[in-house]
Chain A
Amino acid sequence: EDKVVQSPLSLVVHEGDTVTLNCSYEVTNFRSLLWYKQEKKAPTFLFMLTSSGIEKKSGRLSSILDKKELFSILNITATQTGDSAVYLCAVPNPNYGGSQGNLIFGKGTKLSVKP
């Protein structure tokens, strides 16, 4: 069964800390891995990773993919209270006729950043 597993499920840190969120996946015909940030409502797109070992970076957030070990990490440095959110990892589902777009999401990591 294709699946995405995120860890930890929740994390509490203080402002200024650095955090690492983990996402492991088991999916046939892997194409890409995506990270989303979900605050109160809509998930917002952060990164898409397709190549192993190439870091994607946006400000204090960065992510890298390891296709051999089937996982990705999302790093957030110098955390701020505004980083508090659920961080979701997803991979495209290969099981629906091979067409694109149907995403399998993990349960998410709930990050709480305390002042």
Chain B
Amino acid sequence: DTGVSQDPRHKITKRGQNVTFRCDPISEHNRLYWYRQTLGQGPEFLTYFQNEAQLEKSRLLSDRFSAERPKGSFSTLEIQRTEQGDSAMYLCASSRTQNSYEQYFGPGTRLTVT
């Protein structure tokens, strides 16, 4: 399968714990995006990378969220001191630079904070 993959697919954690998600993009895509989606809403942009450089970060994103893409391939999204409001589906997408609007999404990681 050469699509975008995410791990884990589901994560249940207690409030206050840290969690980390991984995304492996399509190999020839140098742009990688993180979105968050809650029930009944469309995906909401969090951050994106061009190769290993983090170029944009949502102004709404808490300092508890951090993302990395150290070698320009896979990316991790960490949430520190999780809160119940962090419960959502976290989607990763990738694209080529020249067709950056045509984004290919992974299956998502569903986070439940209890």
Q: Give B contacts to A, CB under 8 Å.
A: 4, 31, 33, 40-45, 48, 55-56, 89, 91, 95, 100-108
Contact = CB atoms under 8 A, between A and B. Distances in A.
A54 to B, nearest CB: 16
Interface of A: 4, 31-32, 34, 36, 41-45, 48, 88, 90, 92-93, 96-97, 99-108
A74 to B, nearest CB: 14
Contacts of A93: 45
Nearest to B44: A105
A103 B101 contact: yes
B31 A101 contact: yes
Contact of A48 (B56, B89, B101): B101
Contacts, number: 65
Contacts of B45: 93, 102-104
19 contacts: A4-B42, A31-B101, A32-B101, A34-B101, A42-B91, A42-B108, A43-B43, A44-B104, A45-B102, A90-B42, A93-B45, A97-B55, A100-B100, A100-B101, A101-B31, A101-B100, A102-B45, A104-B45, A106-B42
Contacts of B40: 107
Contact of B56 (A4, A41, A97): A97
Given A96-B56, A101-B33, A101-B95, A45 B44 contact: no
Nearest to A88: B42
Given A43-B105, A48-B102, 5 more contacts: A31-B101, A44-B104, A88-B43, A100-B101, A107-B40
